[in-house]
């Protein structure tokens, strides 16, 4: 099963207001989603997200896949371990994470 590529990168932030100013200036566009728990930007086919109060310690790239359960089964059979099971984050979007044998966290996203 092929992936659709990395289309979403989430950045953990401690000060959402300060981060929003920097990313708005960097990307040259206003956020498409702006709430106290998530600020998101669409830029050149990429979703750039700012996530306050997250357990992430660094930016996390998310691979878009057509079937998240099948992809989890495939990568865990190949040696990855499940970090977080698929969770609906709204609008039917499922998000999960796995860890490769080297400790790298990989995000997976399935849209409706």
Tokens matching residue 82: 């499940």
φ, ψ of residue 75 to 5 degrees: the values are -75, -30
How would you write the pLDDT of the chain (112 residues) with one tens digit per residue? 678 889 999 999 999 999 999 999 999 999 999 999 999 999 999 999 999 998 888 999 999 999 999 999 999 999 999 999 999 988 899 999 999 999 999 999 999 8
Q: What does the domain layout of the chain look like in residue ranges? A: 65-112
Alpha-carbon span 63 to 95, nearest angstrom:
10
Alpha-carbon span 31 to 101, nearest angstrom:
35
Q: Provide the CATH topology of domain 65-112.
A: 2,3-Dihydroxybiphenyl 1,2-Dioxygenase; domain 1 (3.10.180)
């Amino acid at each position: 099963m092929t992936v659709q590529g990395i289309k979403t990168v989430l950045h953990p932030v401690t000060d959402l207001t300060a981060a929003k100013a920097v990313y708005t200036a960097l990307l040259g566009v206003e956020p498409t989603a702006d709430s106290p728990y998530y600020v998101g930007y669409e830029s050149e086919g990429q979703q750039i997200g700012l996530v306050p109060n997250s357990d992430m310690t660094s930016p996390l790239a998310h691979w878009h896949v057509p079937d998240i359960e099948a992809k989890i089964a495939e990568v865990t059979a190949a040696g990855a371990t499940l970090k977080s099971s698929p969770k609906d984050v709204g609008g039917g979007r499922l998000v999960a994470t796995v860890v490769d044998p080297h400790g790298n966290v990989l995000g997976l996203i399935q849209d409706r």
